[in-house]
């Protein structure tokens, strides 16, 4: 997570610009819009998060991801949101795709198959965000199931990642903004890990509650707050990113002041 920490400090930003490219009459060509959004928001972005599904749905998706990697400044992490999760030898191939073919600086991983699904991605210098408590609200959520040993499945995921960080410090968690109580709970459980936090904006997550519950009390960092549609659909993506960054930073200042 060193690259992410450096970028967050240098840019004074916790904003992650989600890239879920879709065709529209308003924006026309997806490639041109992607390049425009990157150019307009790079100054404010602590990271970019392209959603793999939106690229694979296109005939030129892999090549477009490779071009996107070239547009993103080298000092801004690109997190490939693939939610990869398979047995070790297959996970190694996914890791090769993400890092060697696309050039991503990090990924998202589904831990359902255990650490075999996680560790192939834990290369030195890469960031791996493991699903713990996601932003969707299913009727039957496995993540919320209580374990006989205590806690929930999401707690267990967080605990496993916390343990693995002793040997693999590039690991973090995906924790949704739609449940600030759960976010705060996992922050208490994992006080120093970086969290990738989707769900602010269109999914209903509250920005103030996210910062309050998720930021590390020690330095005001630790949360990479993802926003996709609010920036992609904005008339001026740069202005939208600037405004969100300013809002986050004001809330961070309040959070740090309250912790003193």
pLDDT value of residue 31 = 92
pLDDT value of residue 150 = 83
Stretches where the chain sits below pLDDT 70 are 25-28, 139-140, 201-204, 255-256, 258-260
Residue 49 designated active-site: no
Beta bridge partners of 133: 175
CA separation, residue 30 to residues 55, 76, 229 (Å): 10, 21, 14
pLDDT value of residue 23 = 77
Specify the fold of 2-259. TIM Barrel (3.20.20)
What is the value of pTM for the model shown? Answer: 0.94
Q: What is the pLDDT of residues 122-139, one digit of tens each?
A: 999 999 999 999 887 776
**223-227 vs 127-133, strand pairing mode:** unpaired
Catalytic one of 83, 126, 133, 137? 83
pLDDT value of residue 254 = 80
Q: What is the pLDDT of residues 59-69, one digit of tens each?
A: 999 999 999 99
3-state class percentages of the chain: helix first, strand second, coil last, to nearest 5: 45, 20, 35
**Exposed/middle/buried for residue 130 (C-beta within 10 Å: 0-12, 13-18, 19+):** buried
- Ordered by start, the domain boundaries in the chain are 2-259
């Amino acid at each position: 997570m060193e690259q992410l920490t450096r970028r967050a400090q240098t840019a004074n930003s916790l904003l992650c610009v989600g890239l879920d490219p879709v065709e529209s009459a308003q924006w026309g060509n997806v490639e041109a819009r992607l390049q425009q959004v990157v150019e307009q928001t790079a100054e404010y972005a602590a990271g970019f998060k392209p959603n793999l599904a939106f690229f694979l749905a296109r005939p030129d998706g892999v090549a477009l991801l490779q071009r996107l990697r070239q547009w993103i400044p080298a000092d801004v992490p690109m997190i490939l949101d693939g939610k990869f999760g398979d047995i070790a030898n297959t996970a190694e191939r996914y890791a090769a795709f993400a890092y060697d073919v696309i050039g991503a600086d990090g990924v998202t991983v589904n831990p359902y198959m255990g650490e075999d699904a996680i560790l192939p991605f834990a290369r030195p210098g890469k960031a791996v965000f493991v699903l713990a408590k996601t932003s969707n609200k299913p009727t039957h959520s496995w993540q919320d199931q209580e374990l006989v040993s205590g806690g929930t499945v999401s707690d267990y995921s967080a605990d496993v990642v916390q343990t693995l960080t002793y040997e693999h410090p590039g690991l973090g968690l995906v924790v949704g903004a739609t449940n600030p109580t759960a976010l705060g709970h996992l922050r208490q459980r994992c006080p120093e890990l970086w969290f990738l936090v989707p769900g602010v904006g269109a999914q209903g997550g509250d920005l103030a509650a996210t910062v309050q519950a998720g930021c590390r009390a020690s330095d005001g960092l630790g949360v990479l707050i993802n926003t996709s549609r609010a920036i992609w659909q904005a008339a001026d993506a740069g202005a939208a990113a600037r405004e969100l960054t300013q809002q986050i930073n004001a809330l961070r200042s309040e959070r740090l002041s309250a912790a003193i």
